[in-house]
Structure 1
Amino acid sequence: MPDASERLSLPYLMPAQAQKHVTHNEALHRLDLLVQLAVESFDANTPPALPQAGEIHALGGVPTDAWAGHAGELAAWTEGNWQFIEPQEGWQALDKSTGTLRRRNVGGWSDVALPDLTALPGVGVNTSYDSANRLAVSSNATLLNHEGAGHQLKLNKASTGDTVSLLFQTDWSGRAEMGTAGADDFSIKVSADGSVWSTALAFDATTGMASGMALTQTVDDATVGRLIRVGDFGIGADAGPLVTDLDAHQLSGNYSGYGGGHVQAPLGDNPFPTLDGVFGLHCGNSTLGGQNAYLWQIAIGIDTPGLAFRVRANGVWGAWQGLWSGANTTVDANGFIKEASPILRLFSDTSEEPAVPLNATFERLAVGQYALTGVPPLASKGWQVEVPQDANGNRLVYVDCDYDAKLGALHVETSKVIWQDGWAAGQPCDIPKGRWVDLRFDTPTR
């Protein structure tokens, strides 16, 4: 049996050997030096002046002084002396000065090369990769951190018709996908079974405009949960969707309709039955106990201005209520508010149309004589003429009117007021300065 081990030259304990503890301690000492070998320096030729216990150097080709004659060996400072060990091929040692791991080869030491991680066929972290998924990670989370200011995750495809996306799965079946699939438009798709897919949102690559099932599909799409596009329900549109049945309409939003003689007049109660024009409709609702308890509609006449509203309660629409405004009233020469259809204020030298425009032509013919052309007849219902009064309520002028239907002209004469078994016309006179005569006409037909 040999006296020492073949690789580390550890001395063996022999039968009937005296002082066996010495041999055993020498073997432990040698193991302490060589196992987990860490070297202070490589290719060293000059011994340090003050070596520390356990310090090891890998000697170069021309060692001097106490190292002379031990080229290529390991020099270990132990028990106040240098102990020399011949390294064997394959031993590894850590260079403490650089942190580099080195291996003993024939003729010297060389750095242990790290594995080449470029052009790997695949990487599996806590799992196996395959030909389709060459990077596979099985983990509760994956962290991609910044180095510096930020971090970009780049997904590239070869051409426009290809797909680059993030796919979200349940039990390996697709449920959601976002990216550019088959085009450069960005889309978000969802599926309940991995087979039938719906495009929830898509953004045009050129315009940035949005489309998809998450948006309203028509101008009055009332599907719960959809996002309203500009223009739908009249939001941001020049005119809202056209209402076809006012009484059946129960959606919130801004709408439009046609009144009077238009062929497209909506069904149901018309807020402006005498108007031959367009009106705007604003609708809303309030809930009570989860039910649609109250609905309301506000209609605004456009061609002929007007404002009306009504409320729906317990499934029944109330009557339209007209609101008085400058569009359907006038203040007469005496300061009273009066109902207006088309109103014209006749002065001594001009005319004025404060509410519904008539575009009448004014002409003063003589003292107390005026002609208005391009006008309809005076109102067939309600009041026609209102004259200015003094502080005691006495009329300041007497008014006679004569209408020529063929010419569409109204001749107006104003005179002083006299009494002849009743109020009558006296000498012609002009309308007093700063005062006027109110003339109310029928709504013109088209």
Structure 2
Amino acid sequence: MPDTSERLSLPYLMPAQAQKHVTHNEALQRLDLLVQLAVEGFEADTPPALPQAGEVHALGDAPIEAWAGHPGELAAWVGETWQFTAPQDGWVALDKSTGILHRWGAGAWAEVSAPDLANLPGLGVNTDHDSGNRLSVSSPASLFTHEGAGHQLKLNKASAADTASLLFQTDWSGRAEMGTAGQDDFAIKVSADGSSWTTALAFDAASGIASGAALTQGVDDATVGRLLRVGDFGIGADAGPLVTDLDAHDLSGSFSSYGGAHAQAPVGANPFPALNEVFGLLCGNSTLGGRSAYLWQIAVGIDTPGLAFRVRATGAWGAWQPLWSGANTTVDANGFIKEASPIVRLFRDGREEPAVPLGAGFERVGLGHYRLSNVPPLASRGWQIEAPQDANGNRLVHVACSYDAGTLDIRTREVIWQDGWAGGAPRDIPEGRWVDLRFDMD
């Protein structure tokens, strides 16, 4: 019978041996050092100056001093001396300084690598996996974080006709899905029962243009809760909804337009004088009394610049109320605000065009004599000419006009009394003052 064990070289108790406790304690001491082996470090060559009881070092190829002659062995400080043990294949030791396991094999220590998890049939974390769900996780949350920078979660499908999506379920019944299902367009779908699905939003893979039930479906779609597309209610469209009935109740909340190109003139009062003029229409409603109880409309003139509004209450539309602005009024030479169609301000050395230019030509023929070309006749109703006045309301010049084939001839003279105010000697328009000339609408 051998004196020591095959693997750990533990001493055996012999028959009739004296002081058996010495041999037994030596075996326990070796077990204490080698079982659950943990070393101070690997590839050590120089013994520490003050070793502590129980220290174990995995020696390198060229140990010196007290370790000399024991390359590759384990050196353990026991009592007052170093004991040496040659490791055997398969022994595992923990590096106490790094926490890394090492395994002895082929005459050297090597780090123990993580187990190879490639090509597993499945993995279940706190639950079972199956053929359809080869990775299953039962947990309050799952965390995927970066490794120093960003992080991507990738869903790859074989072809455009396949599906790559995220499915959200309630009690294992689908309620929402987002991804590329059956095509490469990205879509967000919802369901109330897991069987009937509605595409809320879809984005064309080529253009990125959006569609779906969450968007307005046409220029006159006023469904509450839908997102407004460019082009609906006139926003971003060439024309927007074409309004044929200004008094319609279903225009609330819309941006609309009316143009002279319509085959049918609009029903309801027109906010601008000429029925076929182009204007924009903004419609809205109050939250009081239901959708059609209190409505409002704002019209913006385009052919004739201007702004008008009206409201609907107690079942009837009120009259259009025009807002006075520089487009439909003028401040005459005497500081008064007056209603305006196209007005040209005539100065002694030039002319000032209205908000919508007439393109009038100007010529100073002589003293108190001016000529405007390429103009319509003076207004056929309302006032035509306003001359500058002094502080007492007396006219500073007498103005007389004649019109012929697009040309207006204007003469200004001194003001004299001849059984009424009349023109005397020619006189230019005073410096810094002007004559207002109001023309017919086109």
Taking structure 1 as the reference length, the TM-score comes to 0.70
Residue aligning to 1:423: 420
CA distance in 2, matches of 1:201, 1:176: 12
Q: Percent identity?
A: 70
Match of 1:173 in 2: 173
Structure 2 residue aligned with 1:216: 216
Report if the CA contact (8 A) 2:256-2:280 is conserved: yes
Aligned to 1:182: 182
Q: What is the CA distance between 1:397 and its match in structure 2?
A: 1.0
Distance 1:196 1:344, change over 3 A: same
What CA distance in whole angstroms lies between the structure 1 residues aligned with 2:332 and 2:51?
119
Cross-structure match for 2:434: 436
Residue equivalent to 2:141: 141
Q: Could you tell me which residue of structure 1 aligns to residue 298 of structure 2?
A: 298
- CA shift, 1:272, in A, is 0.4
Q: CA deviation at 1:314?
A: 3.2
Q: Partner of 2:233: helix, strand, or coil?
A: helix
Structure 2's unaligned 5+ residue stretches are: 1-9, 13-24, 43-49, 59-75, 81-88
- Counterpart mapping for 1:29-428 below 5 A: 100=101, 116-235=116-235, 240-248=240-248, 250-258=251-259, 263-274=263-274, 276-288=276-288, 294-348=294-348, 350-363=350-363, 370-395=370-395, 396-401=397-402, 403-404=403-404, 407-420=405-418, 422-423=419-420, 425-427=422-424
The code of the aligned residue for 1:151 comes to H
Indicate if the aligned counterparts of 1:330 and 1:355 stay in contact, CA closer than 8 A.
no
Q: 1:101 to 1:366 in 2, by over 3 A?
A: closer
CA RMSD of aligned residues (A): 5.5
**Does 386-395 or 295-304 show the bigger shift?**
386-395
Deviation at 1:302, TM superposition (A): 1.4
Residue type of the alignment partner of 1:441: F
Q: Which amino acid aligns with 2:171?
A: D
Residues 1:424 and 1:127: Cα distance change in structure 2 (over 3 Å) = closer
Structure 1 residue 332: deviation in Å?
Answer: 2.3
Structure 1 pair 119/363, CA: closer, same or farther in 2 (3 Å)? same
Aligned residue for 1:287, secondary structure, equals coil
Using the alignment, how far apart are the partners of 1:236 and 1:255 within structure 2?
Answer: 11
Task: Report the Cα distance in structure 1 between the residues aligned to 2:212 and 2:412, rounded to whole angstroms.
Answer: 70
Q: Which residue of 2 aligns with 1:20?
A: none
Unaligned runs of 5+ in 1: 1-8, 12-24, 43-49, 59-75, 81-89
Query: What's the CA shift for 1:328?
Result: 1.2
Mapped to 1, the partners of 2:41 and 2:301 lie a distance apart of 98
Task: Check 1:376–1:35 CA distance in 2 against 1; reply closer, same or farther (3 A cut).
Answer: closer
SS at 2:287 equivalent? strand
The letter for the 2-side match of 1:423 is: G
Q: Do the aligned partners of residues 408 and 262 (structure 1) sit closer, same or farther apart at CA in structure 2, a change above 3 Å counting?
A: farther
SS of corresponding position for 1:233: helix
Query: Structure 1's 430 and 195: CA in aligned 2 closer, same or farther, altered over 3 A?
Result: farther
Deviations 1:94-146 (A, max 9, x none): 66779759799xxx999999754221122222333222222122333223233
The amino acid that maps onto 1:251 is S
CA distance in 2, matches of 1:361, 1:91: 108
Aligned partner letter, 2:141:
A
